[in-house]
Structure 1
Amino acid sequence: MGSIALTSLARAAGRVLVAGLSAALACAVGVGAAPGVAAADQVRADQWQLAALDARDAWKLSTGKGVVVAVVDSGVDAKHPDLVGQVLPGIDLVDPGANDSGAVDPVGHGTTVAALIAGSGKDSVGVEGIAPGAKILPIRVLDKANKYNDPDIVARAVRWGVDHGATVINLSLGGALRSEAIAEALRYAAAHDVVVVACTGNVATDPNTHQVWYPAREPGVIAVAGLGARGTEALWSGSLTGPETVLTAPAVNLTGARPGGGYWQVQGTSFATPLVAGAASLVRARYPRMSAANVINRLIGTARDLGVAGRDDRFGYGEVNPVAALRNNLGEVAANPLMAAAPAVTSSASEPAEDGTGTPRGGAAPMPAGESDVPQLETTAEDDRAGASTVAGLTAMLLILIGGSVGVLLHRRRS
């Protein structure tokens, strides 16, 4: 993650295009100002994921109304035009004295995630989320450098979200090593009938990083990998995937809300994850008495199969299919099907996981944080290092990229 690759930017006929973004880079950021015309209507046209997931047909059955989604992230700009009225009072666990509500986002990552879930897209312009009727509960855990130093802050965030009415939790973050504190919080969420969705992670510059990130690896969590460009039905080349992968969703060329009222284009499993969280919200709203276990069962039982027939380690059960999840009749289950199907998780802070070559990860020098002089959406998080003193050579916590390797295109700010 030591170097930053900026995207090439082209502009023709008043429209910004991305060129030359390497999807395999863990830290690729580019910013370009859109000259001339306001582009809010173009923002709506660019949201190809809505058509890919048949969102308009899904909205005939459910908009997510009445569902609260906790976005555990960098905060949320509640004043963005597409999020006005969509954001509930939350909490800032990074700087509670300066901002008690979690409704300020110095990074942008959380704002983009929130709008992909519940953007209102008012007046037929701007970002429209998969579940525009849902409400966002912002919980800030990422600092201005896009990282967290202690996994306890994520565990606290999960518990706080559960205790304050969230029935879906979005975790577009992760790291290499398992955290028992986060695992306990996830068990707390499960015991309170909450659906938890997390990203599988993005390919980093470390060639030995092949394992799905944590907490997506925790049994019971919907681990979301990213799909490539429209119509390819191929895994995005920057997406981590593995036996814990549950579902996939579009992950590239997604237009997102930017703090301050503007827009940018993003890519990464961070931004595939809210599309699945939004789909879970649609199901929860249509079937308000349905248990989290059965919501999850619907999502995986109706997914559009990709790759080899049946579940596989690349695509999981396939691409999330909101319309089928809302319409199809599935038998009732007594427990979360991901608990039984999930492979055993053996990694821990004191026993680093191994990659496919048998090389321990986490015993080398700490991975440096990504650096950029522009807003960076692919945020970083530090792993739980409890007990890591037994690993020789560790002098600092391991920094891991969150969310999305991002190609950013900045449209002109809406008035």
Structure 2
Amino acid sequence: MRRPSAERSAGSQKTATALLRVGAGLLLGVAAGFPASPVSGSSAAGGQGAGLAADKVRGDQWQLGQLHAQQAWRWSDGSGVTVAVIDSGVDGRHPDLSGQVLPGTDFVRPGGNGQTDAVGHGTTVAGLIAGRADDLSGVLGLAPGAKILPVRVLDAKNEYDDARVVANAVRWSVDHGATVINLSLGGSVSSPELADALDYAFEKDVVVVACTGNESPPNPDDVWYPAREPGVLAVTGLGHGNGRTLWSGALTGPETILAAPGADLVGARPGGYWTVEGTSFAAPLVSATAALVRSKWPEMSAANVVNRLIATAGDLGPLGRDTTYGYGMVDPVAALTLTVPAVAANPLDTVPPPGKARFGKAGASATASPAASVARAQPERAAGHRPLLAALPAGIAVVLVLVGGAAATLRRFT
């Protein structure tokens, strides 16, 4: 297990204040995506100081252009879909999220409705998914018609100390109407309880997305848990550049499924806005794309939503799936428009990557082959499908949040 001193927050090297401080015991869970810099803005929530105006915030959301959001909204805006954000809570009073956030729950302070956020992390994630589209200012989500179900598991330090809390949150989200779950958190330690909860989500036809995590070069580590659990869409982050480069702090590996923009993203936070980076903020862009697909085809199974996302991804790196980018960068337009043959089961829940154990009940088939899985999962790629490479101009990033094993105190960026 990686020690906290070898870890780095989702903040970039220019963020010296977002650090993990080694403590006693084990770190059981943290969020891995953090601000690179604060951005004050005009906001009903009360931005502080002179900074970017809300319309500048809208203009700086480069990921929407990179993912051709305006074109995607011709087919779907996410309406009718509930996305659970299992995180630090969501500030439902933020003007960009007003009316977008359902009553949720709080596993840190039982009795709460999940609509308070002492950290800002969950609010940023929610805004990237479902920021309001009824004006021309502030943060605009990739699936602005979707609703957010806030489920708080991270405390005021952006930590949790028991993966069973996240497991309970997954089950609660499923039982309260979520058809997409975003987990922008993780860590190095696997959890049988959380694996069982994820199996419950799969059995109930829910799409689960998680970030691969962040690392501190030159100390790379495995993809974090629960992103490495079979069946989960594990998302890594891309930098703000030419669209083909991994964000410098992103973890990646055999379990990586998709990539998405994860750097220099302007996000909503209680009181205003800030610029963030990390795999935590790439994952919600994939969750939002899943919401777009589920909105267009309400009867489509989760297995076929997952299959559609990976079959239509814009290939990066070597042709086909690789250990750096997975199947490539998520492509909302392709996912909503291309013809993709149906599958009977989640193509990600076949054979675990070499050396990886499967904790859940619904284990992978011992006879299935990875090659067969890839053939089912990417029918378009066999014909050389690389939609985003041809369509997108500049860099793309992926967002991930991590949970998992060994004690430290995570200091919030100020």
What TM-score do the two structures reach when normalised by structure 2?
A: 0.78
Q: Residue in 2 aligned with 1:73? A: 87
Q: Residue in 2 aligned with 1:56? A: 70
Gaps of 5+ in 2: 21-31, 41-48, 360-398
Q: The residue matched to 1:218 in structure 2 has which SS?
A: coil
Q: CA deviation at 1:398?
A: 4.3
Q: 1:304 to 1:150 in 2, by over 3 A?
A: same
Q: Residue in 2 aligned with 1:304? A: 314
Gaps of 5+ in 1: 9-17, 350-376, 384-396, 409-415
Q: How does 1:48-127 map to 2 (within 5 A)?
A: 48-97=62-111, 99=112, 101-127=113-139
- Confirm whether residue 246 of structure 1 aligns to residue 260 of structure 2: no
Distance (Å, rounded) in 1 between the aligned partners of 2:403 and 2:10: 23
Q: CA deviation at 1:335?
A: 0.3
Q: CA deviation at 1:229?
A: 1.0
Count of matched residue positions in the alignment of Structure 1 and Structure 2: 352
Conserved? CA contact 1:174–1:400, under 8 Å: no
Equivalent in 181, 189, 203 of residue 201 of structure 2: 189
Conserved? CA contact 1:380–1:400, under 8 Å: no
- Confirm whether residue 39 of structure 1 aligns to residue 53 of structure 2: yes
Distance (Å, rounded) in 2 between the aligned partners of 1:332 and 1:6: 39
Distance (Å, rounded) in 1 between the aligned partners of 2:267 and 2:39: 15
- Confirm whether residue 201 of structure 1 aligns to residue 213 of structure 2: yes
Q: CA deviation at 1:170?
A: 0.1
Conserved? CA contact 2:14–2:36, under 8 Å: no
Q: Residue in 1 aligned with 2:391? A: none
Q: Residue in 1 aligned with 2:273? A: 263
Whichever residue aligns with residue 181 of structure 2, its letter is I
Conserved? CA contact 1:162–1:194, under 8 Å: yes
Q: How does 1:16-415 map to 2 (within 5 A)?
A: 20-21=14-15, 31-32=37-38, 34=40, 35-36=49-50, 39-97=53-111, 99=112, 101-204=113-216, 208-260=219-271, 262-340=272-350, 342-344=352-354, 346=356, 381-383=403-405, 397-398=406-407
Distance (Å, rounded) in 1 between the aligned partners of 2:312 and 2:10: 37
Distance (Å, rounded) in 2 between the aligned partners of 1:280 and 1:399: 34
What's the Cα RMSD here?
A: 3.1
Q: 1:19 to 1:39 in 2, by over 3 A?
A: farther
Q: 1:2 to 1:29 in 2, by over 3 A?
A: farther
Conserved? CA contact 1:25–1:204, under 8 Å: no
Q: The residue matched to 2:286 in structure 1 has which SS?
A: helix
Q: CA deviation at 1:210?
A: 1.3
Conserved? CA contact 1:195–1:296, under 8 Å: yes
Conserved? CA contact 1:77–1:111, under 8 Å: yes
What TM-score do the two structures reach when normalised by structure 1?
A: 0.78
Q: The residue matched to 1:153 in structure 2 has which SS?
A: helix
Q: CA deviation at 1:221?
A: 0.2
| Percent identity of equivalent pairs | 57
Q: CA deviation at 1:343?
A: 1.4
1:146-199 alpha-carbon deviations (Å, 9 max, x no partner): 110111100000000000000000000001011000000000000000000000
Conserved? CA contact 2:38–2:273, under 8 Å: no
1:63-108 alpha-carbon deviations (Å, 9 max, x no partner): 00000000000000000000000000000010014x2x00000110
Distance (Å, rounded) in 1 between the aligned partners of 2:401 and 2:213: 11
Q: The residue matched to 1:333 in structure 2 has which SS?
A: coil
Moved more, 271-280 or 36-45: 36-45
Conserved? CA contact 1:224–1:269, under 8 Å: yes
Distance (Å, rounded) in 1 between the aligned partners of 2:239 and 2:298: 33
